Amino acid sequence: MKCEIEFLPVGDASKAGDAIVIRYGEPYDYKLMLVDGGHAKTGEQIVAHLRRFFGPSPVLEHVVLTHADGDHASGLRTVFERIPVRNLWMHALWLHAEEAFPLFANKATTIESLTRRIKGEYDIVSDVYDLAAEQGCAIRPAFAGSDIGPFRVLSPDLWTYLHLLPQFDKTPDPDQPAIERQGLWIGKASPASRLFESVKASLQSWTTETWDRERLRDGGITSASNESSVVLYGSFDGGPVLLTGDAGNRGLGWAAEAAVRMGLPLQGFQMVQVPHHGSRRNSGPTMLNRILGPIQPQHGPTRFSAYVSAPADDSKHPRNIVLNAFTRRGGYVIATQGVSKVHWGGFPARPGYTAAGQVPFFDRVEEYT
């Protein structure tokens, strides 16, 4: 089976996001799939793209919302208003309130109150759910082991997700000791700490890097919401594909463990998605070695394509230090940065598209702070 994967340009300045259009099958017998919908204005862009290249009445076999963040969910409202969708795969946070109830700090509230509060805080995700239901779309939970067309969900599993949910930025306070007992405590950043991290990231200092001196470090921490991202593994002609959403080192680790249990090989990918727009907090050398393989000799042949979705004028994404890490392990790194980029995956290239250029290896990278 062939698989064409197109990363649409999403966002501007520091407002990165994801919208990935997938065509799988054969050139004259294929189905369409969408992974994430970017920002609100991305929805119109997705609709126009689908109609331009797949006819005036395209149908999406599957839509996957990888996680609840607005830069992945917002544009899906327009998609569901304009395009027929047969299956929506997502995490409807409020529907898990009862199962996750013991993991929230306030034991005096009711399950009904907790459900209403979560649904109210995540109104964009709720809107997507309601629009899908209105058009008669099947709505399915996207947890490990689910098969979505030719893709298998590697992460998260339901049990892990329930422990992450109370740690999301907009859910009520978590029961930290209960979550710590299961080894799944990440924490919940306060508005002040998020502002501090944003300011610190904007005051970036620089250093030199060589092929043999990797400055990316293990131990990066990203949000619980990011770690809840759906990680997808697809098997196709030419080798497997890995789509990572905004998963961090934990989510990637859970995905790798699931792949081993499911008998799905790692380190032989034809294409991978660079997690979270190339953030340094989401990838570390040890995890990249496990998933992609070890560092390769400099100037050797490329082993896989690595796509990163980031705006053209974003000073924080992607990080040179992360792109270098993928290049070292044999990646032909491609960044959207304002332009659609396509992994053709056996499908013929469309007229008007040109070959995507490779991001160079950078000898000047961000200090890891």
What does 77-96 look like in DSSP terms, one character per residue? Answer: HHHHHHS-EEEEEE--GGGG
**pLDDT > 70 in the chain, percent:** 95
Grade residue 311 by pLDDT with cuts at 50, 70 and 90: confident
- DSSP 3-state assignment of 226? helix
Q: Largest Cα–Cα distance of the chain, in whole Å?
A: 61
pLDDT grade for 342, boundaries at 50, 70 and 90: very high
Residue 199: predicted pLDDT: 59
For the record, the structure tokens of 157 come out as 């599993």
Structure tokens at 57: 């009445």
Q: How would residue 314 be classed by pLDDT, with cut points 50, 70 and 90? A: confident
Residue with the two structure tokens 């204005």: 41
pLDDT band at 312 (very low <50, low <70, confident <90, very high): confident
What local confidence, expressed as pLDDT, does residue 17 receive? 83
Confidence of residue 14 (pLDDT cuts 50, 70, 90): low
Tens-place pLDDT, residues 194-251 = 555 655 556 679 999 999 999 999 999 999 999 999 999 999 999 999 999 999 999 9
Q: Where are the beta strands (DSSP E) in 145-226?
A: 147-148, 151-155, 206-208
The chain-wide mean pLDDT, for the chain, equals 94
> Mean pLDDT throughout 301-329?
92
Q: Tens digits of per-residue pLDDT, 106-133?
A: 999 999 999 999 999 999 999 999 999 9
Higher pLDDT residue, 194 or 314?
314
Residue 13 has what pLDDT? 56
Is the link from the previous residue into 318 a cis peptide, with omega within 30 of 0? yes
Cα separation, 66 vs 127, in Å, equals: 16
- Structure tokens, 315: 């000073």
> Taking a C-beta distance cutoff of 8 angstroms, is the pair 231, 272 a contact?
no
The rounded percent of the chain whose pLDDT value lies above 90 is 89
Tell me how far apart the alpha carbons of residues 32 and 156 are, in angstroms, rounded to a whole number: 24
The 10s digit of each residue's pLDDT in 46-79 is 999 999 999 999 999 999 999 999 999 999 999 9
269-278 confidence digits (pLDDT tens): 999 999 999 9
Beta bridge partners of 3: 24
Alpha-carbon torsion (148, 305, 217, 362), positive or negative: negative
Question: Which of these, 203, 207, 200, 196, lies nearest to 321 by C-alpha position?
Answer: 207
Give per-residue pLDDT as tens, 133-180: 999 999 999 999 999 999 999 999 999 999 999 999 999 999 999 999
Query: How much is the pLDDT for 196?
Result: 55
For the entire predicted model, the pTM comes to 0.96
Residues 20/36, Cβ–Cβ less than 8 Å: yes
Judge whether residue 358 has pLDDT over 70: yes
Which whole-number Å values give the CA distances from 157 to 14, 145, 153, 231, 270, in the listed order?
A: 31, 8, 9, 11, 25
pLDDT at residue number 191: 66
| Residues near 352 by beta carbon (within 8 Å), at least 6 away in sequence | none
> So what's the pLDDT on residue 192?
60
Least confident of 79-93, 164-178, 254-268, 299-313: 299-313
> 49-58: b or e for each residue (b if 16 or more CB lie within 10 Å)?
bbeeeeeeeb
Q: Considering only CA atoms, which of 9, 362, 20, 5 is closest in space to residue 215?
A: 362
Both tokens of 345, joined, read 């995956």
pLDDT tens-digit readout, 290-305: 999 999 999 999 999 9
Q: Token digits for 284?
A: 């570390």
Bridge partners for 365 per DSSP: 207
